[in-house]
Amino acid sequence: MTAIRRPAVAGMFYPGTAPELSSVVRDFLSNVSTSTPAKVPKAIIVPHAGYRYSGAVAAAAFARLEPASETIIRVVLLGPCHRVAVRGLASPSVEAFATPLGDIPLDRDAITAVSHLPQVNEFDATHADEHSLEVQLPFLQEVLGDFSLVPLVVGDATNAEVSEVLEVLWGGDETVIVISSDLSHYLDYDAARLIDKRTCDAIEKLDPDAIGGDQACGRIPVKGLLNLARKRHMRVETVDLKNSGDTAGTKDKVVGYGAWVFEERGAQEALPVDDGTEGDAGVDFEASTKALLEKHGAVLLKLAGTSIEHGLARNSPVNVDVGSFPDELQRDGACFVTLYKNRQLRGCIGSPEAHRPLLTDVAQNAYRAAFHDPRFPNLTTEEVPELHVSISVLSPPSPMTISSEAGLLSQLRPNVDGLIISDGGHRALFLPSVWEQLPKPEDFLSRLKLKAGMGDGYWSDGFQAQRFITGEIKQSQLPPGESIWKQAGNDHP
């Protein structure tokens, strides 16, 4: 006989019969405005109170999943512990969760995939009467139809422990992440609105550290999602923010409710760049880098040329007086400098992640591309007139959640993604420009594996991949007659 977790709050938090429950949920969903087309979220945060209090707020996020009802086949559902305390995250042993609308099968393979993590333990007692997960299920059944479930109750855990679990379960378009959390509890109406607005601001800024212990009962799973969303440079949108005083209760002691949707960035969308200053996490990398290179690209190219010529004369890169350059160039940045001779590669060295001012990175990498690329002999003065320089500025790398080579290949975006792969002591990087020579994802990955010292068919559980995008400035883009060389005076490839 299949073990099933029976509903614990049907007839209390939501209607206990299938016809009434379906009707109530459908009414909530039908009242959500869908006039503006929107992307299907990868993750949502929704409240978990009784439907008369928070159902309309939850529906605002769940409705955004309906267009993907044929695509989403797995729901990873995390909520806080209210009844039986647990250390870490608790999975159930049953095969299905039931509601008046039917049984939902559990994805036992996915649960097994995280069961080896020390923070995940099987503990049915904490699931038995827990409402934070259960109240989400009828909404999911109405908007998605058939799907499998990965339900985890979050107890005494860290943000990082939650993020690690989510990263393993992230998957692709077939998986959606649902985080269950109410906001402030039992404050007066005005005080609740104030503190809930602060929580909302923290979520919109992907700032888990700004959410305190009294701001959300599901703060730990929320903060775990925010950690990973920030790492993956996701876009977040607030779709509703209310409290029980707005819905079905008095205004003297209210509970806050909010709904947020988190979107992955598409193939033609740029990742944001975060230089560590407040507010920069939302800056569009592609637009900001294009503006930077349009304004200062010639300066960077000439700095690269100066550093190469300094290397020819003194066997060292030029020493950059960073403070004498515009502020935009003084910020930390990562770049690759690529040299071509007669349209053939002559050297390429760079930094996969920002760790010093962009100016310094350009000067150092230009010198190293000319004199320390192990694939080529040191550049000579005679070669300079035939040299062509290109600078690629890199976005922060974004980790990819993968479980197989096929999964990695399906996520790669030709002519958009640069790729970093690693496993143990093996590591290699391809810039997006490599797609020009290797337009097929299979060939792109195969050659990158060989570059990393892996075999063509190599794969292991420890294989990791990160992708990034670039903004590029080429020597050929300079105005006619303008050169990057002080000595040679040549500006043609």
Q: What is the CATH number of the domain that holds 459?
A: 3.30.700.20
Residue 26's φ and ψ, nearest 5 degrees, are: -65, -40
Token reading at 459: 């794969």
Cα-based angle 304, 318, 451 (whole degrees, multiple of 5):
55
More confident residue, 39 or 383: 383
Name the residue type at position 373.
D
Q: Are residues 18 and 135 in the same domain?
A: yes
Q: Among 23-37, 124-138, 197-211, 295-309, where is mean pLDDT lowest?
A: 23-37
**Distance from C-alpha of 442 to C-alpha of 431, rounded to nearest angstrom:** 16
Residue 294 and residue 148 share a domain: no
Strand-by-strand arrangement of the 426-430 sheet: 398-399, 464-468, 418-423, 426-430
Which token pair is 7?
A: 């509903």
Whether residue 15 is contained in a domain is answered as yes
Please indicate, yes or no, whether residues 256 and 286 belong to a single structural domain of this protein.
no
pTM comes to 0.59
- CB count within 10 Å of CB 196 equals 24
Residues 137 and 248 in one domain: yes
Same domain flag for 183 and 331: no
In a domain, 287, yes or no: yes
> Which residues 6+ apart lie within 8 Å of 233 measured at CB?
265, 271, 272, 274, 281, 396, 398
Q: Which of the pair, 357 or 141, is modelled with greater confidence? A: 141
Rounded Cα distance between 57 and 44, Å, is: 12
Q: Do the Cβ atoms of 474 and 390 come closer than 8 Å?
A: yes
What's the whole-number average pLDDT of the chain?
A: 89
Predicted confidence band at 231 (pLDDT cuts at 50, 70, 90)?
A: confident
> For residue 159, is it within any domain?
yes
**Same domain membership, residue 259 and residue 154:** yes
Q: Are residues 135 and 185 in the same domain?
A: yes
Q: CA nearest 193: which of 259, 261, 257, 260?
A: 257
In the listed set 235, 263, 291, which residue is the last one of a domain according to the structure?
Answer: 263
Is residue 455 in some structural domain? Answer: yes
CATH code for the domain in which residue 26 is found: 3.40.830.10
15 and 73 housed in the same domain: yes
* Maximum separation of any 2 CA atoms in the chain, in Å: 85
Q: Per residue in 237-296, pLDDT tens?
A: 999 999 999 999 899 999 999 999 999 865 444 444 333 333 333 346 777 888 889 899
How far apart are the C-alpha atoms of 8 and 84, rounded to whole Å?
14
Cβ atoms of residues 220 and 86 within 8 Å = no
pLDDT at 331: 86
Residue 272 lies in a domain: no
Domain termination residue (choose one: 201, 230, 263):
263
Residue 252 resides in a domain = yes
Contact residues for 137 (Cβ-Cβ < 8 A; gap 6+): 97, 99, 101, 104, 149
Is residue 271 included in any domain, yes or no?
Answer: no
Confidence at residue 269, expressed as pLDDT on a 0 to 100 scale: 46
- The phi and psi torsions of 333 (rounded to 5 degrees) equal -155, 160
- Count of domains in the chain? 2
Domain holding 344, by residue range, is 280-477
Residues 257, 305, single domain; the answer is: no
pLDDT at 164 over 70: yes
Q: Which of 204, 230, 263 delimits the end of a domain?
A: 263
* Whether residues 289 and 342 fall in one domain: yes
**Same domain assignment for residues 95 and 215:** yes
CA–CA dist 63, 289 (Å, integer): 35
Is 298 contained in some domain?
yes
pLDDT at residue 35 in the model: 52
Instruction: Indicate whether 314 and 255 sit together in one domain.
Output: no
